[in-house]
Every structure is written in C-alpha cells, then in structure tokens.
Amino acid sequence: MADPFPPSRRTRIMRIALALSLAVNLAVAGLALGFTVRGHDGKPPRDFDMSLGPVARALLPEDRLAIRDALKQRPEMPPRRARADDLADLVTALSADPYDPDALRATLAQPIGRAAKVQDIAASVLADRIDAMSPADRLGLAGRLQQGEGRRPEK
C-alpha cells in the first residue's frame, strides 16, 4: 500500500504543525502577560512575574500597582498590537511559496526578543521602585521573601 504522505510532505506538515503550536503558545503567553501587567476590575494586578518571580509576588499591592503604572509609561515597551503583527507574519511565512525556512526562523525570533526586552524593562522598573523604598519598606520586602511569601501559592 502506497504511503499517502511521502516523507517530504510529512516533514512539511510537521513543521507547519509545530510552528502553529508555537504561535498558539506565544499568543497564550502574550495574553497572560497582558492581563498580568494591565490589572483589571479595580483590583490590584496579579503578579507580573516576568521572571522576577519571588520578588514580584512579595511586593505589596500598592507597589505592584505603581510598577504596572510605570511600565505603561515606558515608551520603549513594545505595543500590544505587536502580538497580532507577529501572528500575521507567521501566517505569511507559513503560506509563502516557495517556503523560506530563514524567514520562518526570523519570524519566530521576533516575539522572543520582545519578551526579553519586556523582562529587562520590568527588572529596571522593579529596581527603581525598590530604590525609592524606605529602609523599613525594603526590610519588610526582605522579611516577606525570607518568610516565603514570594513562593507561588499551592494549588
């Protein structure tokens, strides 16, 4: 019985499936990041982790709000529409005929670079907020970290 999907076609289908899976994962991560940084319903925003993990979770709600507001004011923060542009670029790279693997790789690298930039900005804003704290506030943060308040809650 002849194989309905010759090896070259299977490879291409697998590449497309993997790229689409990555695009969905990046979209979900972008949505989670957007909700975290933005906050909603007048409540303090959820932790804005961005690899700052325990320190971000140990901050007081008013510190997280101030950091969120500072992040919104930073002109170098990538625009929200960049995620939609990334997806459109990915669709274009996947649909190209002839297929260009280098264009696909460049397209997949864009959100990774932007995420690294956001992490750098968030770390800078966090450091600025900590710099502005009184010695007592810094000691309070250190105490919360030491007591494990920066750990993720058990599910």
Q: Is 155 part of a structural domain of the chain?
A: no
Tokens read off for 139: 């000691």
Q: Is 2 part of a structural domain of the chain?
A: no
Q: Tell me: the pLDDT tens digits for 80-102?
A: 777 778 888 888 988 988 989 99
CB atoms within 10 A of CB 90: 22
Whether this prediction's pTM lies above 0.85 is answered by no
Q: How many domains does the chain have?
A: 1
Q: Is 152 part of a structural domain of the chain?
A: no
Q: Is 126 part of a structural domain of the chain?
A: yes
Cα gap 16→91, rounded to integer Å: 10
Q: Is 154 part of a structural domain of the chain?
A: no
Tokens read off for 9: 């076609």
Q: Is 64 part of a structural domain of the chain?
A: yes
pLDDT confidence of residue 129: 92
CB atoms within 10 A of CB 102: 8
Cα gap 37→33, rounded to integer Å: 6
Expressed as residue numbers, the domain containing 99 is 7-146
CA 43 to chain centroid = 21
Q: Is 151 part of a structural domain of the chain?
A: no
CB atoms within 10 A of CB 59: 26
Chain-wide mean pLDDT for the chain?
A: 77
Q: Is 30 part of a structural domain of the chain?
A: yes
Contact 35, 122 (CB under 8 A): no
Mean pLDDT score, 67-73: 87
